[in-house]
Structure 1
Amino acid sequence: MSDLYGETHRAFQDRHDTRRLADRLEALAHSEFDERDRSFIEEASFFFLSTVDERGRPTVSYKGGPPGFVRIVAPSELVFPVYDGNGMFLSVGNIASTGHVGLLFISFESPPRRLRVQGTAHVMPNEGPGHVPGALYLVRVRASEIFVNCGRYIHRLEQRRLSPHVPDASGQQPFPAWKGYD
């Protein structure tokens, strides 16, 4: 019995004769961050966050910050800040209502790397010892599956600079002009 694959996944694997490969990859999945995962995640300046609303509709968002903005805080848990965005609060609202998340960390540099983290999350106030300047909230994720993903089709890109809207160490950030439009 597989924890990662359902009947439809298995049907495609069988159709393309990849079940043995899929089984080997599933055997590498884990629920606690190892040192390689930790350094990759804590050095990242962005990731993609997938959430699901109460009607089962998925959405995905880009989340960016300075390197180190995502922190591993326990063997199976990470925390990331929620910065001021477009005001829709889709990700935070979805996390508050269903808690289901998928995070995809990607390195576009050589060698390319992708790491998936699937689990449950909850929204926390941005206060106390884990306070992050400039963040509205913090999200704590408990990983149920952590696994590498094929980097074969990752384009080689170079990060030139961080967004000027990432809050600085004191939490200050420029006001985006588009928010002043009616």
Structure 2
Amino acid sequence: MSDLYGPSHRRLQDEHDTTRLADRLEALAHVEIPPDERAFIESRPMVFLSTVDHRGRPTVSYKGGAPGFVRVLDDNRLVFPSYDGNGMFLSLGNIAANPEIGMLFIDFERPRRLRLQGRAALLRDDPLLASYPGARMLVRVDPEQVFVNCGRYIHRSAGSRLSPHIPDAGGCQPFPAWKRIDIFGDVLPAADSRRVAEAGGPITVADYPGEDDPPG
């Protein structure tokens, strides 16, 4: 019996004579995160997060922050912050209804990737929240399977500059220009509407400058 593979996986493995290899790789999967993998996770400025929605459809999103924004706690759980986003709350809403998630950590400079499957929960009043300036809530993850994947098809990144939108030590971050686009003007939260007015009012889609170099 396998916890990782089902009949469809087995048929493909048998077809390509990789069943023994697949079994060995499953045997190397683990729950406890060793020190080297902890260091790898905490060095990543991004993670790809997969969740399942209310209709059973998988989705994946990018989560970014300063290196160390995903932490491995002493009890082997992971924690990462939820910063201000587009207001859809797709990932967090999915987690609230279905805790099953997947996480993919990638090093684009020295090709390596680490996959994690587990169960997540939203935390609004956790003591660790104060250590993440600008975070609205936290996500805690209990790992169920952790395993390393081959990194040979990972493309190198062009640079390593972090996003200027990451909240600073005081929790401040640039106001996103996309919230000034006029098609969103009548649906923004009140606080954002005030920020739009302070920034000089709405802009058109044609005038949208992007988010690469936000004004200070």
What TM-score, normalized to structure 1?
Answer: 0.95
Mapped partners of 1:5, 1:20: distance in 2: 12
Instruction: Report SS of the residue matched to 1:175.
Output: coil
Root-mean-square deviation (Å)? 1.2
Q: CA deviation at 1:152?
A: 1.4
State the alpha-carbon separation in 2 of the partners of residues 126 and 89 from structure 1: 18
Residue aligning to 2:113: 114
Residue type of the alignment partner of 2:156: R
Matches within 5 A, 1:128-139: 128-131=127-130, 132-139=132-139
**Distance in 1 between the 2:104 and 2:46 partners?**
9
Q: Which residue of 2 aligns with 1:77?
A: 77
With over 3 angstroms needed to count, the CA separation of the structure-2 counterparts of 1:170 and 1:127, relative to structure 1, is: farther
Question: Counterpart of 1:135 in 2: which secondary structure?
Answer: coil
Higher strand share: 1
The ranges of structure 1 where at least 4 consecutive aligned residues each deviate by more than 3 angstroms after the TM superposition are none
Aligned 1:14-93 pairs, distance under 5 A: 14-93=14-93
Calculate percent identity across the aligned residue pairs.
64
Are residue 4 (structure 1) and residue 21 (structure 2) matched? no
More helix by share: 2
Q: CA deviation at 1:126?
A: 5.2
Q: Confirm or deny: 8 A CA contact 2:129 2:137 kept in the other structure.
A: no
> Any stretches of 5+ residues in structure 2 without a counterpart?
185-216
Supply the AA of the counterpart residue of 1:171.
Answer: G
Indicate the SS of the match to 2:37: helix
State the 1:76 CA deviation.
Answer: 3.2
Higher relative contact order (CA 8 A, sep 6+): 1
- Asked if the contact 1:115/1:149 (under 8 Å) is kept, the reply is yes
- The alignment partner of 1:145 has SS state of strand
1:43-98 deviation digits (Å, cap 9, x = unpaired): 11001000001210111000000001011013431000011111110000000010
Q: TM-score, normalised by structure 2?
A: 0.81
CA distance in 2 between partners of 1:166 and 1:126 (Å): 21
C-alpha separation in 2, matches of 1:142 and 1:19? 28
Deviation at 1:119, TM superposition (A): 0.6
Residue aligned with 1:74, SS: coil
Q: Does structure 2 retain, via aligned residues, the 8 Å contact 1:108–1:158?
A: no
